[in-house]
């Protein structure tokens, strides 16, 4: 309940801040430096840092045939340097202050804390033998042909209850890796099923920050938004299950070893899953799971009492890169926004809206473009929400529908952009690249197609 209240306060605070209309000039005072600056008209060149990162990451990977050649963190450091070159008339110290404030936003710091706690849990449960036991238990009950679809369904339930895609990925990624190793199913398919399931709940959960932000900015009840949203994405979820079943149905994987497991070593994962399903705070869930994993590890002889700190530290250290990347991305977004990149996107889309159906497509395009630019679906909704509200009011779009479209299309892009926290985390936890996972991310694509279908086919009352 605490995290629910926290996100309401965050969404209210952010959504109540006046957004700049595209093309307007607004004078603001830098809260840290006291320097007055003018936000100029929307500027497409402000999106250059994101383009530089994509060109480097994709270009070097394609040229070399190996996407590991360009570490993501190096690409983001270069993009950050390019972002600092924006607004050349501003002092470097002022631009660094803007980046630092963006890095220090509450939702960014919360995400980083989740990374750290998830890493500690992963290190403890892995050292205790929990991953292997959980995988073996699952495969002894569930045939290999159902394993990938099962990962997706479990991910849907966990993310729906926990309200966080990152926590879901952190909990299930090691299990997905274990299933891949045991069955021979391609690792990218297994982890893609986890990411797809994580994005299902991230978009729908009543305690998800995106749901709260979308409903708050549009002034609708969250239950109404949930009902509207669920009906739109349900076909996508059902089809996704079918696709994952079809991918593995005729496969003849042979398990070459006995499936031995220890139920005590599975217990930490059960606590994580049950805690998530009943809606316990994600921080409490991860801390409790870590503590239990340490107790189980010592009790079963997996490691000695003196090694507890080392196994937790090892897991936390494995999350350092993704934590640094998240902060760099936040800093880049702050500089891009300051230079007018977000304003340009908003103005470009807003000028093309002509009808109720066009307004719905405009809202979808608006939040999509902002999410691609910011790599954070909550931030994208908070930024695009007030403009979407104006568009929807003008063309008589129901608030619950606008809120659903905001959340859906922010999640669609957040689930597939290679520099988003979800794919970067999934890749980090499974030693893959985001580009290896993307071809199997069926749910975000189907969610977009289902939403477009609802926009096109929905009967509209003449006004």
The pLDDT tens digits of the residues spanning 353-393 come to 778 888 899 899 888 988 887 777 877 887 777 778 878 88
d(CA 432, CA 423): 10
Q: Do residues 133 and 269 share a domain?
A: yes
d(CA 95, CA 251): 55
pLDDT over 90 for what percent of the chain? 22
Task: Identify whether 84 is part of a domain.
Answer: yes
pLDDT higher than threshold 60 for residue 36? no
Q: Do residues 237 and 362 share a domain?
A: no
pLDDT higher than threshold 70 for residue 274? yes
What pLDDT score does 139 carry?
64
Q: Do residues 153 and 267 share a domain?
A: yes
What pLDDT score does 462 carry?
58
- Our count of domains for the chain comes to 2
**Contacts (Cβ under 8 Å, ≥6 apart) of 221:** 215, 400
d(CA 78, CA 232): 39
The mean of the pLDDT values for the chain is 79
Q: Do residues 253 and 180 share a domain?
A: yes
Q: Please state the rounded mean pLDDT for residues 391-406.
A: 88
pLDDT higher than threshold 80 for residue 161? no
What pLDDT score does 19 carry?
32
Q: Please state the rounded mean pLDDT for residues 163-186.
A: 82
Band of pLDDT at residue 196, cut at 50, 70 and 90: very high
pTM of structure: 0.65
Q: Do residues 343 and 436 share a domain?
A: yes
Task: Identify whether 30 is part of a domain.
Answer: yes
Q: Helices 341-350 and 320-338, interaxial angle, to 10°?
A: 60
Nearest CA among 449, 416, 8, 455 for reference residue 211: 8
Q: Do residues 287 and 416 share a domain?
A: no
**Contacts (Cβ under 8 Å, ≥6 apart) of 384:** 346, 363, 366, 367, 370, 406, 410
pLDDT higher than threshold 50 for residue 6? no
Q: Please state the rounded mean pLDDT for residues 259-286.
A: 76
pLDDT higher than threshold 90 for residue 352? no
Task: Identify whether 8 is part of a domain.
Answer: no
Q: Do residues 155 and 132 share a domain?
A: yes
| Domain boundary residue, one of 275, 295, 318 | 318
**Contacts (Cβ under 8 Å, ≥6 apart) of 270:** none
Task: Identify whether 272 is part of a domain.
Answer: yes
Q: Do residues 204 and 249 share a domain?
A: yes
Q: Do residues 172 and 242 share a domain?
A: yes
| Domain boundary residue, one of 318, 352, 371 | 318
What pLDDT score does 12 carry?
35
Q: Are 101 and 333 in contact (CB under 8 A)?
A: no
Q: Do residues 113 and 85 share a domain?
A: no
Task: Identify whether 9 is part of a domain.
Answer: no
What pLDDT score does 16 carry?
34
Task: Identify whether 241 is part of a domain.
Answer: yes
What pLDDT score does 239 carry?
96
Rg (CA), the chain: 22
Buried-state track 219-244, b at ≥16 Cβ within 10 A, e below 16: ebebebbbebbeebbeebbebbbebb
What pLDDT score does 252 carry?
56
pLDDT higher than threshold 90 for residue 61? no
Helix and strand tally (H, E) in the chain?
22, 2
Residue 45 has φ and ψ, to the nearest 5°, of -65, -20
| Domain boundary residue, one of 285, 318, 351 | 318
65-74, 146-155, 401-410, 448-457 — which is least confidently predicted? Answer: 65-74
Nearest CA among 276, 200, 201, 212 for reference residue 7: 212
Band of pLDDT at residue 99, cut at 50, 70 and 90: very high
Band of pLDDT at residue 80, cut at 50, 70 and 90: very high
Task: Identify whether 421 is part of a domain.
Answer: yes
Domain containing residue 229: 107-318
Q: Do residues 348 and 297 share a domain?
A: no
Band of pLDDT at residue 235, cut at 50, 70 and 90: very high
Query: CA angle at residue 403 from 402 to 405, to 5 degrees?
Result: 65
What pLDDT score does 135 carry?
65
What pLDDT score does 68 carry?
62
What pLDDT score does 145 carry?
75
**Three-class SS state of 38:** strand
Q: Do residues 32 and 148 share a domain?
A: no
Task: Identify whether 7 is part of a domain.
Answer: no
What pLDDT score does 409 carry?
95
């Amino acid at each position: 309940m605490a995290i629910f209240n926290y996100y309401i306060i965050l969404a209210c605070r952010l959504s109540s801040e006046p957004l700049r209309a595209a093309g307007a000039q607004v004078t603001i005072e830098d809260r840290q430096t006291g320097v007055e600056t003018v936000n100029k008209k929307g500027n497409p060149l402000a999106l250059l840092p994101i383009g530089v990162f994509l060109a480097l990451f994709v270009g070097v990977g394609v040229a070399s045939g190996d996407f590991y050649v360009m570490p993501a963190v190096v690409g983001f450091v270069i993009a950050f340097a390019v972002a600092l070159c924006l607004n050349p008339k501003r002092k470097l110290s002022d631009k660094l202050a803007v980046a630092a404030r963006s890095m220090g936003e509450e939702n960014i710091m919360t995400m980083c804390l989740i990374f750290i706690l998830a890493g500690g849990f992963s290190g403890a449960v892995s050292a205790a033998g929990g991953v292997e036991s959980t995988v073996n238990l699952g495969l002894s009950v569930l045939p290999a042909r159902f394993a990938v679809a099962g990962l997706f369904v479990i991910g849907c339930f966990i993310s729906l209850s926990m309200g966080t895609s990152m926590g879901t990925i952190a909990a299930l990624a090691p299990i997905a890796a274990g299933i891949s190793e045991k069955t021979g199913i391609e690792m990218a398919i297994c982890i893609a099923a986890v990411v797809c399931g994580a994005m299902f709940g991230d978009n729908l959960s009543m305690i998800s920050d995106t749901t709260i932000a979308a409903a708050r900015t549009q002034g609708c009840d969250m239950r109404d938004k949930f009902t509207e949203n669920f009906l739109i994405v349900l076909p996508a979820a059902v089809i996704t299950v079918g696709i994952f079943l079809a991918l593995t149905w005729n496969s003849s994987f042979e398990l070459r070893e006995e499936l031995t497991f220890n139920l005590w070593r599975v217990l930490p994962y059960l606590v994580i899953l049950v805690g998530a399903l009943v809606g316990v705070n994600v921080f409490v869930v991860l801390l409790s799971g870590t503590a239990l994993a340490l107790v189980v590890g010592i009790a079963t002889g997996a490691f000695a009492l003196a090694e507890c700190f080392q196994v937790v530290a090892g897991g936390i250290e494995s999350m350092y890169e993704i934590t640094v990347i998240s902060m760099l991305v936040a800093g880049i977004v702050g500089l891009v926004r300051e230079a007018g990149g977000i304003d340009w996107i908003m103005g470009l889309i807003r000028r093309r809206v002509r009808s109720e159906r066009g307004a719905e497509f405009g809202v979808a395009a608006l939040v999509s473009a902002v999410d691609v630019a910011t790599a954070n679906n909550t931030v994208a909704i908070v930024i695009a929400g007030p403009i979407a509200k104006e568009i929807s009011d003008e063309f008589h779009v129901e608030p619950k529908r606008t809120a659903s479209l905001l959340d859906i299309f922010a999640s669609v892009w957040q689930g597939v952009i290679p520099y988003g926290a979800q794919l970067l985390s999934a890749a980090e936890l499974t030693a893959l690249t985001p580009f290896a996972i993307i071809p199997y991310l069926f749910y975000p694509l189907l969610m977009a197609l289902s939403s477009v279908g609802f926009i096109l086919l929905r009967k509209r009352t003449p006004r």
